[in-house]
Structure 1
Amino acid sequence: MSESERHADVGRQITAALEQMAEMARAVADLLPGSTIGGDFVSGSQFKIYLGQHGYSYQAYRMTSEELHEVFVEPDGIAGVRAAVRDNTIVVLHGPAGYGKGATLLNAVKVNSKPDQQVFRLHPTTDLSRFSCAQLPKESFFVLDDLPAQQLGHLEGYAMDTLLADLSTHRCKLVISTPQAQDTLFSRPGGVVVELSPRPPLRKIFDSHLNRRWSATDSTPKQLLAQPGVQDLMDTELRTNSTAYAAARLALLVAHAAAVADPCQYIADRLQGRAAEECGRWFGEITDLRVHCLAVSLAVLNGLPREIIARQADELELLVRPPTDGPASSPATNPFAAAKSFSLAALRAEVLPFDAATQHGVVPTQALRYVDREFAGLVLHHVWREHDAIRTPFVRWLQRLGTNTNQAVRTRAATAVGVLACESFEYLAGQIMAPWARDKRLEVRLCAAAAVSPVIAKPALRDPALRLVELWSTDQSSRWLRATAAHAYGQSVSTYEPQLALESLVGLADTDDADLMIAIGSGFCDMVFGGTAAVTLEVLDAVAELSRSRDRDVRLTGGLSFLGMALSDGLPGEPSSDAQPSLVLLTERTPQLAPALGRMWSFALHDPDLNELFLDCLDDWAVDAEAHVAHRAALIRVLRQSAQDPRTLRTLRRRAEIWSGRNGKAPVVGRALLTEVSDRV
């Protein structure tokens, strides 16, 4: 392999590592404890930080299709709410607590949004007087639930006009639910206040949610609802002063209770916040070791194909099963008979269709998951807290999962270790995270970096976690540990300490080790594609300085980091159908990045080691942007900023002539670029 081919391979591996880390970050939400906002379940790990006005940062996350298509019982006047969302930039829906304002707004957004439009939920702490949607895609919807009336009152006058102007400029809409609002809130067109009409009957809400989870032919609902204890609970929860959310949650609990021996006790425990105790009783009533291991395997690998979960349950059983005395073996068991010892209902699990990504392509299969979305975390915590006797084999099993050939298995293992490390940090840092961190295999080291994320999210554990990553990054550490530290700085540390993460990555850049270069490059990519606009600018400036260094190793690290960014497609948390270069999409969203990216390209196109690779990459950018007006404009904006010296001007003119020539593959882009550079050469 030539040196140029090795450099190209490093660039591709930076992109591949970035994709793996992004998948691991998404998986954390499955096991971290969540909270409810306006009656909707929200995991704190889903929120990302975006930049508002004057350096203000706010949190938001992109809502899933599942959230937007929840069961909805239409109240009177829903047509008016939908029309208000259709015709206005800001809609404020007010009404008493528990009337389902949040669900009503989401339904109105769903009805008025296009298939490719994105919907973001804003964190309840968002200060709308300093909010800006400039960093997020145009034509997005923003949802803010349960805004206190006094905070809404602060938006009158200039602050409200500024908010309306910002949203209108980017063709975005904002919907707000609040207990009370004045009709005079808006002084000019574009905003409207709507009062929610009386909600539907609570029993109708309950029945609608329950019917979605049970088929019409299932006899279980009638049998369960006929039990006196369940009837008493329903009478209590569906009383007149209860809420729409309470009715929907009760329906969910009743549906889950169908698989439980004592439905009334299960529902009562959940309603009174005793979920952990109820989970412990359920786990304690299991008498078969095989079922115990299957329950634990499902807790860690929740949502994966059932054959994978069953295989890993077998592996756990081999580690946990006590050794037999003497050479005599246990009596042979009939594996078909063993399957009768439990059912999916007893395991509180369900089977769902699942498209598994394999080396042969996407294959349809069946996934196994707990019916209750919170149950996986409850089981995991129960086993860790209450069963010390199996801790050693359990830890050995988790460590092995991190070396599995299946990326989805490794991802969930890293997530589980990170969640448990929030309770036993020192122990798991030494027993699992350190062995993963010094492994020669990139995919295993990524598990260690990902496992740091849930720990560093805990304020009480942030300093110890930072010291651990710093220890991995020292000159005395092995090359593998330093590479793991670079991944952790980019993926985990940068969310909470971006300046520390950036300085640490720059400090590691003087290296000729390919693995460390890949890790540093993916760390920079994580910060560019996952941070605020201000952080992105700082990272691009830092990478530009590395790319200009007289030290060849430092210059290569900076150049290869930018090559990894340039080769990446799509943006985190956004549809992958439009496989445009990530930096082009980022520039389209945040035009102020164009000067920094232009400087990077002016260095890259003349890099003595990488210029041919960058020319090939730029050719690909042009072809990708050829048929897209917005992407084409973003690309030309960047190249206009890079064409500041005669050498770069000549290079760009030559590329434009090739693109627009007789056999050119991007004639529109080529002609547009020629128009930009012709009068400068």
Structure 2
Amino acid sequence: MSDEATASHAERGGADPAVGDRSVPAGDATAEKHPAPSGTADEGEGPLNEAAALVALSKGADDPQEWADAARVAQIADLIAHRLRDDPSGLRIGTLALFQDTVSFGGGFNVHGHAAERTGVPASAGGSLARIEPDEQNGHLACYVRPHGYKSALELLQECHLIVLAQPPGTGRAAAAVNLLVEALIDAGAADGGSCYRSTDPSAVLSATWTPPHQNAGYLVELDDRSARGSTVYDAVDSGWLTAAASALKARNSFMVVITGPPRGVLAWAADRTPYVFSDLGAIDATEVLERHVLGPAPDEAELRDLRARLARSGAAEALREQPEPAIAVALARTVRARRDLAEQVALLRDPSEQVRQWFSRHEDLEALCFAVSAAVLEGSSYLTVSDAAIQLHTALVRDPYTLTGLRYRDRLGHDQPWITVSGAADDGTARPFGPPKVSFRSPLVRQAVLAHAWSYLDGMRNELLAWLRRLLVHSDVEVRARAAVAAGVMAWSDHEHALHRYLSSWSSSTVWPVRQAAATALGVIGGQPGLTEAVWGRLDRWAVEGTSAAARRQAKTAATAAGGLLGRDAPDRALAVLRIALAWKDDWGNLVPVAWSVVRLNDQGRADAVLAALLEWSKAQDLSPMVAKSLSVFLFSAERTHPATAGEADRPSVLWTRVGELGRPLEELWARALARKPIQEQALATLRTWLTDYAERDPRRLPVVRELLIGIARRPGKHRERLVYWLGVWSADRERPCRAAASLREAVVAATSR
């Protein structure tokens, strides 16, 4: 990030000139007036003195829920960002891959249209019909895998002579239709299975005057669902036409399958009142389709094992899990039969940028687009959370809250969003015994590509998209806040300088704590990209330097918060350097709280050794200077904080408690320094009592190590022994809050230091 950003409007104390903090509508004003978690709010716009800072720091224990929410946001965001950077599938996505726009599936991978199949076929004179040639028809019949609903669909067609196969594209519905027509004709006694025709002009077939031109024939009518938004062709499939067409077909011993998307409008009405609409054909196992097209219907077991091993090695098995479309399975089967490089074809197939580009080119409906963007921002959230956010985004774009009152996303997800699943499974794929269904993309990288495409290509949506995202940052659901913050970082990958000026600078200096926390999270996500890491660290270094304006002070807090995330986990020395700069402000204690929270997070990420070494260095003078007092306060804060665990589990105690045996020497030194210095001494005694009264009660196994720690402190020169003996005695004799461990520890300290 360039130094030019230092002079940005937001950093001089103003909001982003385009959106900034003004992107919050009146409906969210109440949420932003709520106080931030204790110890994280702005404690005034000016410098903060020692007494006020220590009070703010201690307030973090007064409202556990507030602290739990703030910590949970950071925890969720770190987990999501970690998955983005270390995806176990082996896939990776880079900035260039999102925007080259040169990759194409080509050939059989262009599976969502049938233009190649229909060109050059002469139409009949009777109703714009083209015969389905034997080679194409046999291709559908030879290796067809029947879904579980196929038999019911066939029985319905045999009885009614007409069915509407209301299935999403990509589910093998065209192959199913041809198989149904041929089987129905054979059962009806048609010679050689009769002839099947495809309509080249659905409006002609769906007219009120159309009659079947052929005896013993099958008719396939495929309606383009993009014309379903009020099209007269689509609306013509009503109960009257269905009844009349079925009667005419029966009279000529013929059959018809009409392919549509999920029923809506007049077709939905007809589905409830007539027997013709069939919408439960069932999913087809795409891997089984591939196996049958390669090995035939009765494969040799050894050949089948070899094929499955090849699919696993090449990534084809995972690709079919992400895109379980029969047409894709058929295309991959051609590659296998032709002995071409399967891994190369799979790489093209799994390219998330190309999947996203093709999807956006096919879906122009604003409702579908809003759901895709909402799912990308909030992936892993419940269906209701994602759909509500999609509606809010749509309303922001069209500025009409009443346009989507009848929209039901769940009815059309399979059609509009085949890359999305709504499942009750947990992250590891196992079924959850309770809880709402959650929204996720089948491919781990599609989410990133959707965000990049939406932000970089949908130019007319950018203002509204950013305002909508900004509102999610102050959502009452901490998971929504965390996921939105990560999404803001992913969007910035394509042009981080633009993102800095467009929204990150104003967010980082916001007066609203959750927005600043989101900016810190987004910066961590940006810094996770190898090419951007140094730029982010440079920005944090500059923001942490003591400033004179209120906006600069808030940006320093954001820098301190960001240093405690995944950036700090990967580079603890860089993080601790930023924290030291922020903590060392001469006459201002305002950064004490965010530095302390970041130290807790670094400890929790396995960096306690580096943290304690830094705190020892910062407090090395052991004098009355502010830096010594600040460092020891941070140490005591991190020694006492509990860490909110996942839902249904108990909070975990401080890492410094759980690792007390490993960190013995630096812990002993820091405890000794804190217990010897006022006013930090009062905080140290309170924290030590928490260790003995609360932590030891739940985890007495560590008492022997704590005993050695206290004996080591008592043996030091000065009044350490007298102080520990006195207070251990007071705590053990306290009737209101007795500390059972204190009595035995006092005896051990006295015995060890009396010789």
Q: Shorter-chain TM-score: which interval?
A: 0.5 to 0.7
Match of 2:614 among 539, 562, 567: 539
C-alpha distance in structure 2 between counterparts of 1:256 and 1:248, whole Å: 14
Assess, with a 3 A threshold, how the Cα gap between structure 1 residues 504 and 338 changes in structure 2: closer, same or farther: closer
> Where does residue 710 of structure 2 map in the other structure?
639
Shift of the alpha carbon at 1:539? Answer: 2.3
Which aligned pairs between 1:570-649 and structure 2 lie closer than 5 A?
A: 577=650, 579-588=652-661, 591=662, 593-623=663-693, 624-626=695-697, 628-643=699-714, 644-649=716-721
Which aligned pairs between 1:516-527 and structure 2 lie closer than 5 A?
A: 516-527=591-602
C-alpha distance in structure 1 between counterparts of 2:462 and 2:326, whole Å: 27
- Letter matched to residue 336 of structure 1: G
Residues 1:480 and 2:550 aligned together: no
Cα pair 1:316 1:394 within 8 Å, conserved: yes
Which aligned pairs between 1:291-440 and structure 2 lie closer than 5 A?
A: 291-321=368-398, 335-336=405-406, 339=409, 342-344=412-414, 346-347=416-417, 348-353=419-424, 364-440=435-511
Assess, with a 3 A threshold, how the Cα gap between structure 1 residues 354 and 479 changes in structure 2: closer, same or farther: farther
> Where does residue 654 of structure 1 map in the other structure?
726
Residues 1:225 and 2:225 aligned together: no
Shift of the alpha carbon at 1:472? Answer: 1.6
Shift of the alpha carbon at 1:372? Answer: 3.4
Cα pair 1:11 1:563 within 8 Å, conserved: no
Which aligned pairs between 1:123-134 and structure 2 lie closer than 5 A?
A: none
Cα pair 1:31 1:419 within 8 Å, conserved: no
Does 501-510 or 336-345 show the bigger shift?
Answer: 336-345
Cα pair 1:35 1:42 within 8 Å, conserved: no
Cα pair 2:378 2:480 within 8 Å, conserved: yes
Which aligned pairs between 1:204-219 and structure 2 lie closer than 5 A?
A: 219=282
Aligned-residue sequence identity (percent) comes to: 20
Assess, with a 3 A threshold, how the Cα gap between structure 1 residues 543 and 292 changes in structure 2: closer, same or farther: same
* 1:509-566 Cα deviation digits (max 9, x unpaired): 24565652111212333333334464133223135348x3423x43442233123202
* 1:422-454 Cα deviation digits (max 9, x unpaired): 221101111121111101222221111111113
Cα pair 2:289 2:326 within 8 Å, conserved: no
Shift of the alpha carbon at 1:256? Answer: 4.1
Match of 1:491 among 562, 565, 575: 565
Shift of the alpha carbon at 1:297? Answer: 0.5
Cα pair 1:580 1:625 within 8 Å, conserved: no
Which aligned pairs between 1:54-453 and structure 2 lie closer than 5 A?
A: 219-221=282-284, 225-226=288-289, 231=294, 240=306, 243=309, 246=312, 250-258=316-324, 264=330, 270=346, 272=348, 273-321=350-398, 335-336=405-406, 339=409, 342-344=412-414, 346-347=416-417, 348-353=419-424, 364-453=435-524
- Letter matched to residue 395 of structure 2: L
Shift of the alpha carbon at 1:382? Answer: 3.0
Shift of the alpha carbon at 1:338? Answer: 5.6
Cα pair 2:469 2:484 within 8 Å, conserved: yes
Cα pair 1:294 1:313 within 8 Å, conserved: yes
> Where does residue 560 of structure 1 map in the other structure?
633
> Where does residue 751 of structure 2 map in the other structure?
678
Cα pair 2:82 2:566 within 8 Å, conserved: no
- Letter matched to residue 316 of structure 1: L
Assess, with a 3 A threshold, how the Cα gap between structure 1 residues 533 and 343 changes in structure 2: closer, same or farther: closer
Assess, with a 3 A threshold, how the Cα gap between structure 1 residues 491 and 246 changes in structure 2: closer, same or farther: same
Shift of the alpha carbon at 1:284? Answer: 2.4
Cα pair 1:595 1:641 within 8 Å, conserved: no
C-alpha distance in structure 2 between counterparts of 1:632 and 1:651, whole Å: 19
- Letter matched to residue 505 of structure 1: L
Residues 1:9 and 2:59 aligned together: yes
C-alpha distance in structure 2 between counterparts of 1:27 and 1:596, whole Å: 33
Cα pair 1:10 1:518 within 8 Å, conserved: no
C-alpha distance in structure 2 between counterparts of 1:662 and 1:470, whole Å: 48
Does 614-623 or 363-372 show the bigger shift?
Answer: 363-372
C-alpha distance in structure 1 between counterparts of 2:569 and 2:477, whole Å: 27
Shift of the alpha carbon at 1:380? Answer: 2.0
Assess, with a 3 A threshold, how the Cα gap between structure 1 residues 31 and 222 changes in structure 2: closer, same or farther: closer
> Where does residue 265 of structure 2 map in the other structure?
none
Match of 2:74 among 14, 21, 30: 21
Shift of the alpha carbon at 1:474? Answer: 2.7
Cα pair 1:11 1:564 within 8 Å, conserved: no
- Letter matched to residue 426 of structure 1: E
Cα pair 1:10 1:560 within 8 Å, conserved: no
Assess, with a 3 A threshold, how the Cα gap between structure 1 residues 463 and 5 changes in structure 2: closer, same or farther: closer
Cα pair 2:72 2:478 within 8 Å, conserved: no
- Letter matched to residue 59 of structure 2: D
C-alpha distance in structure 1 between counterparts of 2:689 and 2:555, whole Å: 36
Shift of the alpha carbon at 1:252? Answer: 4.4
C-alpha distance in structure 2 between counterparts of 1:373 and 1:31, whole Å: 8
Does 426-435 or 390-399 show the bigger shift?
Answer: 390-399
Residues 1:509 and 2:583 aligned together: yes
Shift of the alpha carbon at 1:290? Answer: 0.8
Which has more strand, going by share of residues? 1
Cα pair 2:509 2:555 within 8 Å, conserved: yes
| Partner secondary structure for residue 351 of structure 1 | strand
C-alpha distance in structure 1 between counterparts of 2:499 and 2:332, whole Å: 33
C-alpha distance in structure 2 between counterparts of 1:381 and 1:230, whole Å: 36
Assess, with a 3 A threshold, how the Cα gap between structure 1 residues 522 and 505 changes in structure 2: closer, same or farther: same
Q: Which has the larger radius of gyration?
A: 2
* 1:159-192 Cα deviation digits (max 9, x unpaired): xxxxxxxxxxxxxxxxxxxxxxxxxxxxxxxxxx
Aligned residue pairs: how many? 487
* 1:315-370 Cα deviation digits (max 9, x unpaired): 3223434x7xxxxx99x757335658722464233334499xxxxxxx94443222
* 1:477-498 Cα deviation digits (max 9, x unpaired): 6210111111123335433443
* 1:602-661 Cα deviation digits (max 9, x unpaired): 232344234333323222211221453432233223323322234221222123334544
C-alpha distance in structure 2 between counterparts of 1:275 and 1:265, whole Å: 18
Cα pair 2:602 2:611 within 8 Å, conserved: yes
Shift of the alpha carbon at 1:229? Answer: 8.2
Shift of the alpha carbon at 1:587? Answer: 1.9
- Letter matched to residue 240 of structure 1: D
> Where does residue 605 of structure 2 map in the other structure?
530
TM-score by length of 2: 0.56
- Letter matched to residue 649 of structure 1: R
Residues 1:460 and 2:460 aligned together: no
TM-score by length of 1: 0.62
C-alpha distance in structure 2 between counterparts of 1:242 and 1:601, whole Å: 60
- Letter matched to residue 720 of structure 2: T
| Partner secondary structure for residue 580 of structure 1 | coil
C-alpha distance in structure 1 between counterparts of 2:381 and 2:406, whole Å: 23
C-alpha distance in structure 2 between counterparts of 1:249 and 1:575, whole Å: 36
Assess, with a 3 A threshold, how the Cα gap between structure 1 residues 535 and 407 changes in structure 2: closer, same or farther: same
Assess, with a 3 A threshold, how the Cα gap between structure 1 residues 633 and 440 changes in structure 2: closer, same or farther: farther
Cα pair 1:653 1:678 within 8 Å, conserved: no
Cα pair 1:15 1:565 within 8 Å, conserved: no
